[in-house]
Structure 1
Amino acid sequence: MSYSILKRILIGKPLKTSQLGEQKLNKLKALAILSSDALSSVAYGTEQILIVLATISLVAFWYSIPIAIGVLVLLTALILSYRQIIHAYPHGGGAYIVSRSNLGENPGLIAGGSLLVDYILTVAVSVSAGTDAITSAFPQLHEHNVMIASLLVVFITLLNLRGVTESASFLAYPVYLFVLALVLLIGAGIWQILSGQVPADLHTPIGTVVPGISLFLLLKAFSSGCSALTGVEAISNAVPNFKEPAAKNAANTLVMMGIILAILFSGITFLAYWLGISPKAEETVVSQIAAEVFGRNILYYFIQGTTALILVLAANTGFSAFPLLAVNLASDKYIPRMFLIRGDRLGYSNGIVTLGIASILLIVAFKGETEQLIPLYAVGVFIPFTLSQTGMIVKWLREKPAGWMYRLTINLIGALITLTVLIIFFTTKFSQVWSVLIFLPVIVYMFHRIKNHYEAVGEQLRIKPGEERLQMEGNVVIVPVAGITKVVENSLNYAQLIGDTVIAVYVAFDRESEKRMEEKWKEWKPDIRLVTLHSQYRSLMRPLSRFIDLAEEKAAETNHTLTVLIPQFITKKRWQDILHNQSSLLLRVYLLYQKNVIVTTVPYRFKK
């Protein structure tokens, strides 16, 4: 099966550029494809809070309620703030564009770099968490976690390469099934509590004194709970993916996501508290709640199945937002220009493939146990959160549009809360997030190096008016030859067409072959000059290089161009290449990077 047929089967037939408008998302599909990360965090956000509180005692679990309220306050501030960002910057880019436009180049690059890394972590963490949910149901698969997670990343990568609308159509079902499953769970749980079916002594009353509790520990639990807010910014990065009016649709989708996230997170946290659920290594909090409410019946497995699906498919938020953020960075010349190219299905396929490969490498490196990456993952979001809020504050103070005081207040509150959470992360989880202080400066440095390269290239390629250009007076062609063959004859004929002077160069490894070649040449091509070079160490490159250096100097003195024309035969079957030494390819690569000459290849194709 040829590569093109396999590609057509996996990705689908190419789409015309004129079909780009058909690849835009409506609100329901966008909610599914861009909210999966935020909604999936409900599956572990409450658990992260309880894990910290459990280090004191089970009595401390009542603190999960005020901590959850704090998380909801922050969620409200972020939703209101990102609505403003969407309307102010409707072309997408989110925190990167806001920070770069209002705070300067380096803050923008810090925000952009943080988000790029964060989307890679999103995929790795989400897929690993989903794999854990699958292997919890089927323990015999646990030893294959890494392979299962890697295959799931490949599947999601291929799904996204098929196009935005196709992946959104597929992903909408599991996302909405997950929301339905948790609404059923929360509704049934609250009904059982209200109807007296749940004993009232399973939990510690709110306000109970907890010996050993400290502000430091409560702040650590709060910062852990804030992991439920990862993915909130994705919609602001992907505004161009929405149908018109894009900004309005994106803003409304953001509010819908915020409301659903608030309901699910509040419900799960409340049920975990009321039912006295404790975090266990072998079973998730959601699984324990479902078992308490429904028992181990079909509804329990429905909830576990949809939870596993949403955790895996949460990775799709990264696949939706990463390529668009990469487009913004590539447009500003901070990352390679290849990220600007649309693939066969009109998606930014280079960004999608890069994200897939980076995520698999991360999963393999951490052997599928990416829980320790969750704090790093959360910090990677809160840095852009803080920078984008601060950037909007600067924007309102500078522009002062109608109603700017209200907008300023929202962003100020958001900036203060996100900065506080960021400080809490660094003070309470420094051992887990210190690497941010190393890799972010490295990423920003790389961005600058790439930008400097592109600017230097642009400067060298630019045609300047009035600039004097040297007029060349002829072309000297050097043809390295390995013997007297049809390949060489073909190359010499072409060299005579393009060159004013043609010189054949033969490298001999002994005096006898050198003499024999000179005698044969006089009979065969007496009209073309042959230069023989003796190489006592059997090297082709060294004598050829020295000769080309001399020819280059001479050509420069006489205003001639110098072309090295390399004969090359092409075998009929690819596997046959390994039967021949590839000295022509090596010579071509060497000359392209080492010498200031024109290098060209004349192919001679074998028919059998």
Structure 2
Amino acid sequence: MSEKGRKGEGTEQGGSPTPSALLPRLDDEQLGVLRQVGHEWGRVTGDAELWRRALPVTPDVGSFPPPGEVGPTRFSRLVDIPVLKGQPPAIEFEEGEVPRRGRRARAAHRARRLVLGAPLRSSAIARERMSKRVALPVLSADALSSVAYGPEALLGILVLAGSAGLGYSLPIAGAIVVLMVAVGVSYRQTIRAYPHGGGSYLVASRNLGRLPGLMAAGGLMTDYVLTVAVSIASGVAAFSAAFPSLSRSPVPLGVLVILVLLAGNLRGVRQAGKMFAIPTYAFIVAMVVLLAVGLSQAAGRGFQPEPTPHLAVTQSVGLLLVMRAFASGSTAMTGIEAISNAVPAFKPVEWRNARTTLTWMIGLLITLFAGTIVLVHLTGVTPNPHEPLLSQVAHRTFGSGPLYIFVQLATAAVLLLAANTAYNDFPRVLFLLARDWYAPRVFLRFGDRLAFSNGIILLSVCALLIFVAFGGRTTSLIPLYAVGVFLAFTLSQAGMVLHWRRVREEHWRKSLIFNAVGGALSAVVFVTAGITKFAAGAWVAVLAIGAFVLVTTHIRRHYDAVGRALRLHPHAIELPARDVSAPALPAEGPAPRGGEGGGEDEREREREGESEAEECPEQVHHLSVVALAVLDLAGMRALAYAASLRQPVLALHVAPSDDEAARFRAYWAQWGDHLPLEVVVTPYRAIVAPLVDYVEALHRQRPDLTLTVILPEIVPRRRRYRILHSRIAARLRHSLRPLPKIVVTTIPFHV
């Protein structure tokens, strides 16, 4: 299918991914050219009604169920795609069939299917709506899990100044709590302004412009990569504290965990929110019990802090040290924006439930973070490279009994869940960038297991490199962390300030002040982290964000050039040869559909290979199906090619919504409706499977026909740009290969 779209389109409200970039709206100039092109087509193709009567099949093969009937099962977001209504069961075949090739290739194929599972050719992803009690643990895992390493990162800087430095832990923690409140209230205003979801990239792009939006996206992408690396490092450390025998191999263990997350996410088996809620609630319970028991023990001794061990002083207390500690401790705020990104995933009223859930998350985060700092102060524990700070506190409170093991297991589980959260958000940001033509189009589509496979693989590779390069040590990874996330916070809140100044809704001044305060405090943390931690590793994040902006702008320039090449021009349209008349009417009407009359016998003959026994040209009967996403030069060339064959032609458009279907039909009518058109509306968040299902339905009608599926294909002249364009034909060939007499061909359009 043709690829040209328009910036800002291609998602549901709030930027939720849809099967493909939505049909771009044609301006008045393009509509005029479309009508002019249609006039020229009418002069060479003759009566459109004759083309419809020449079809050897019935184009209307049924419909998919409406979106309201598509819902997730109890424990999975995957749903089966039934055949089109009115159709018999599809011909069965083994999708995991191993092609006839070399022994090593077959072994690799079987291993891949063992790990990733067979392709889900007949499945799709249904939207999952979450209640507040489910959304709280699912969307708060990243933020709440940061309690496991945020306080340790703060104290790890202050301990350089000995006991005098640790005395600053409470006031610095108080400042971080104020920052949490300010940013949390700011994101409440973001949810009110963007009730259909508004992440940092969307908010910054719409209010500040292209460059700030890309910088925010770069910060988010860096944050998600580090979320995986830091969460895995902290989780491995928590396991190692409970089971010391594992402490000798943290890097191999962490790499194994990342590979397991990669395989699990590539399988596409995303469990429902209720399953993900368990580890987060277990961590909340464990922390509440730890704080309650620890504070009650401190109350028994009159809240007198226990003495800390002797600490060597390597740096005096100063403004630089305090600011470094503040920036390090602020990493406990990562993940706060997750709820504002996921507003459409809530049950109605979405924005109100999202704001309530955000308030609960901020309250829990403040309670756990502040309580941990106070308990560390009272117990006198200090950062230890051989045991995580939280493990020391649990040891001091519970000893080595079952409650200590429970705290460590719950901590490790929520950290791993936080890492898995990045596997949801990282591919989504890539999808939004690809939708806006700043990332390769391959990040728009699902893999054969209905996951954003390319984004998942990229995230895993980046996280593995970072994790191994820094030895799987949380203390080494933390300096990279604050830069990206607080850059995204700052740009998002600055964008909200401009938003309120522009719309001036009720209470806009109060909202502007909240966002301005949140943005200013986030900017302070960003600048502080960038300066104080630059030599310690923050330069990696700064360099990564800069490179990200350069690469994405270069990609956008290429897509803009392709867009200009694909625009309709009256003197650049290819037409069929002069006086191309409609093909002759079929000798007989469409054969009975499968399951009627001789349908079973026909399918049996197909299995035996009798339907592919044509030996003479006159025995071959054709139908060309031209799959179109948009009406541009590439699409017009594909239509011209199909019509020039002087065989029956059927144009096909798969639309993810009724609105797009109506818009495509309107554009087709503007063109002149010279060839038969069928628009299939699919409620599924997949595009290839419904297309395959439709082609199979046509095949069942007339198994004797040779069906040729024709697709436009963008072919860049420079090889390095080819990765920027999708290869949907290969996926169709793979899915349709088991059916006889199906041909998939592409019409190249060189740019």
Which of 467, 475, 481 pairs up with 1:377?
A: 481
Q: In structure 2, what residue type is equivalent to 1:406?
A: K
Partner of 1:456: 561
Offset from partner CA, 1:149-205 (integer Å, 9 cap, x none): 12212333344455586153333211111110110000001111223387555379x
Partner of 1:89: 194
Q: 2:224 matched to 1:119? A: yes
- Equivalent residue of 2:168, what SS? helix
Which of 307, 323, 341 pairs up with 2:445?
A: 341
Distance 1:467 1:418 in 2: 52
Kindly tell me: are residues 93 and 324 of structure 1, through their superposed partners in 2, closer, same or farther at Cα, counting changes over 3 Å? farther
Q: 2:525 matched to 1:421? A: yes
CA RMSD in angstroms comes to 3.9
Equivalences for residues 204-283 of structure 1 within 5 A: 212-283=316-387
- Over alpha carbons, which structure has the higher Rg? 1
Q: 2:126 matched to 1:20? A: yes
Q: Deviation at 1:4?
A: 8.5
Distance 1:76 1:173 in 2: 26
Kindly tell me: are residues 461 and 4 of structure 1, through their superposed partners in 2, closer, same or farther at Cα, counting changes over 3 Å? farther
Kindly tell me: are residues 593 and 110 of structure 1, through their superposed partners in 2, closer, same or farther at Cα, counting changes over 3 Å? closer
Offset from partner CA, 1:402-422 (integer Å, 9 cap, x none): 101110110111111111111
Offset from partner CA, 1:42-93 (integer Å, 9 cap, x none): 0111111211111111233231111111111111111111122123223435
Which of 491, 504, 508 pairs up with 1:400?
A: 504
Q: 2:282 matched to 1:177? A: yes
Q: In structure 2, what residue type is equivalent to 1:261?
A: L
- Equivalent residue of 2:317, what SS? coil
User: Is the Cα–Cα contact under 8 Å of residues 125 and 371 in structure 1 kept in the other structure?
Assistant: no
Q: In structure 2, what residue type is equivalent to 1:61?
A: L
Distance 2:719 2:422 in 1: 38
Q: 2:539 matched to 1:434? A: yes
Task: Tell which has more relative contact order, 1 or 2 (C-alpha 8 A, sep 6+).
Answer: 2
Partner of 1:293: 397
- Give structure 2 stretches of 5+ with no counterpart: 1-95, 99-108, 310-314, 579-615, 621-714, 721-751
User: Is the Cα–Cα contact under 8 Å of residues 99 and 387 in structure 1 kept in the other structure?
Assistant: yes
Offset from partner CA, 1:435-487 (integer Å, 9 cap, x none): 334322221111111112222222223332354658889xxxxxxxxxxxxxx
Q: Bigger shift: 166-175 or 184-193?
A: 166-175
User: Is the Cα–Cα contact under 8 Å of residues 219 and 485 in structure 2 kept in the other structure?
Assistant: yes
Kindly tell me: are residues 7 and 91 of structure 1, through their superposed partners in 2, closer, same or farther at Cα, counting changes over 3 Å? farther
Partner of 1:360: 464
User: Is the Cα–Cα contact under 8 Å of residues 24 and 164 in structure 1 kept in the other structure?
Assistant: no
Partner of 2:422: 318
Q: 2:150 matched to 1:45? A: yes
- Give structure 1 stretches of 5+ with no counterpart: 205-210, 474-492, 498-588, 595-608
Partner of 1:502: none
Partner of 2:584: none
Kindly tell me: are residues 5 and 168 of structure 1, through their superposed partners in 2, closer, same or farther at Cα, counting changes over 3 Å? farther
| TM-score, L = length of structure 1 | 0.72
Q: Deviation at 1:278?
A: 1.1
- Equivalent residue of 2:336, what SS? coil
Q: Deviation at 1:367?
A: 3.6
Distance 1:370 1:470 in 2: 63
Q: Deviation at 1:372?
A: 2.0
User: Is the Cα–Cα contact under 8 Å of residues 323 and 339 in structure 1 kept in the other structure?
Assistant: yes
Partner of 2:271: 166
Partner of 2:161: 56
- Equivalent residue of 2:161, what SS? coil
Q: 2:465 matched to 1:330? A: no
Q: Bigger shift: 409-418 or 159-168?
A: 159-168
Percent of pairs identical after alignment? 41
| TM-score, L = length of structure 2 | 0.59
Distance 2:439 2:276 in 1: 30
Offset from partner CA, 1:188-231 (integer Å, 9 cap, x none): 01111223387555379xxxxxx942222212111111011111
Offset from partner CA, 1:335-355 (integer Å, 9 cap, x none): 112222235665434323332
- Equivalent residue of 2:160, what SS? coil
Distance 1:162 1:247 in 2: 31
Q: Bigger shift: 51-60 or 66-75?
A: 51-60
Kindly tell me: are residues 294 and 593 of structure 1, through their superposed partners in 2, closer, same or farther at Cα, counting changes over 3 Å? closer
Distance 1:17 1:378 in 2: 39
Which of 154, 160, 169 pairs up with 2:259?
A: 154
Distance 2:214 2:410 in 1: 37
Offset from partner CA, 1:238-261 (integer Å, 9 cap, x none): 334333433333222222211111
Partner of 2:659: none
Offset from partner CA, 1:12-53 (integer Å, 9 cap, x none): 8849777613x3333333322322121111011111121111
Which of 149, 172, 178 pairs up with 1:73?
A: 178
User: Is the Cα–Cα contact under 8 Å of residues 35 and 317 in structure 1 kept in the other structure?
Assistant: no
Partner of 1:35: 140
Kindly tell me: are residues 593 and 254 of structure 1, through their superposed partners in 2, closer, same or farther at Cα, counting changes over 3 Å? closer
Q: In structure 2, what residue type is equivalent to 1:25?
A: M
Distance 2:354 2:250 in 1: 36
User: Is the Cα–Cα contact under 8 Å of residues 392 and 408 in structure 1 kept in the other structure?
Assistant: yes
Which of 190, 206, 209 pairs up with 2:295?
A: 190
User: Is the Cα–Cα contact under 8 Å of residues 185 and 514 in structure 2 kept in the other structure?
Assistant: yes
- Equivalent residue of 1:216, what SS? helix
Distance 1:75 1:452 in 2: 39
Kindly tell me: are residues 439 and 472 of structure 1, through their superposed partners in 2, closer, same or farther at Cα, counting changes over 3 Å? farther
- Equivalent residue of 2:505, what SS? coil
Distance 2:469 2:438 in 1: 27
Distance 2:258 2:250 in 1: 12
Distance 1:441 1:200 in 2: 46
- Equivalent residue of 2:149, what SS? helix
Q: In structure 1, what residue type is equivalent to 2:136?
A: L
User: Is the Cα–Cα contact under 8 Å of residues 238 and 320 in structure 1 kept in the other structure?
Assistant: no
Kindly tell me: are residues 148 and 437 of structure 1, through their superposed partners in 2, closer, same or farther at Cα, counting changes over 3 Å? closer
User: Is the Cα–Cα contact under 8 Å of residues 164 and 317 in structure 2 kept in the other structure?
Assistant: no
Q: In structure 1, what residue type is equivalent to 2:174?
A: I
Offset from partner CA, 1:307-331 (integer Å, 9 cap, x none): 1222222202212221222221111
Q: Deviation at 1:123?
A: 0.5
User: Is the Cα–Cα contact under 8 Å of residues 149 and 234 in structure 2 kept in the other structure?
Assistant: no
User: Is the Cα–Cα contact under 8 Å of residues 445 and 452 in structure 2 kept in the other structure?
Assistant: yes
Matched length: 488
User: Is the Cα–Cα contact under 8 Å of residues 231 and 317 in structure 1 kept in the other structure?
Assistant: no
Higher relative helix content: 1
User: Is the Cα–Cα contact under 8 Å of residues 42 and 264 in structure 1 kept in the other structure?
Assistant: yes
Distance 1:469 1:96 in 2: 40
Distance 1:230 1:405 in 2: 27
- Equivalent residue of 1:54, what SS? helix
Q: Deviation at 1:116?
A: 1.1
- Equivalent residue of 1:368, what SS? coil
Q: In structure 1, what residue type is equivalent to 2:301?
A: G
Q: In structure 1, what residue type is equivalent to 2:499?
A: K
User: Is the Cα–Cα contact under 8 Å of residues 330 and 337 in structure 1 kept in the other structure?
Assistant: yes
Partner of 1:501: none
Kindly tell me: are residues 66 and 249 of structure 1, through their superposed partners in 2, closer, same or farther at Cα, counting changes over 3 Å? same
Distance 2:324 2:201 in 1: 28
Q: In structure 2, what residue type is equivalent to 1:427?
A: I
